[in-house]
Amino acid sequence: MDTIDTICKSNCSEVYCLDTTWTDNSTTVSLCDVTSSLITDVIILPNGCVEISTKGVAGRDTICVTVCDDVTGKCDTTIIVILVPPTVDTFLIQ
């Protein structure tokens, strides 16, 4: 199991690529957990990557993604931990 820790500003979209070098070039990428309060969209890309979009809400969330080798049946799970920091308002004092 791998873990990716990342910081993503509110309303962002980021691409995370998973390690598929151990497979025989025939892989299936799937989500093993889609329950989320911060993530608005997850797109599985054909190259072993996933694109994740977040809401405009601060917090911490996780998503689980599985890569399986279609030839051997072996699978690897990656947990992506996303931290969305609060937006800081600044004031200009003159």
pLDDT range class, residue 66, cuts 50, 70, 90: very high
What pLDDT, in 10s, does the model give residues 17-49? 998 888 887 889 998 876 677 888 889 998 889
Looking at residue 2, its pLDDT comes to 87
Looking at residue 34, its pLDDT comes to 65
Contacts of 29 (CB under 8 A, 6+ apart): 18, 44, 48, 50, 65, 66, 67, 68
Looking at residue 33, its pLDDT comes to 72
CA distance 59 to 38: 7
pTM beyond 0.75, yes or no: yes
pLDDT range class, residue 90, cuts 50, 70, 90: confident
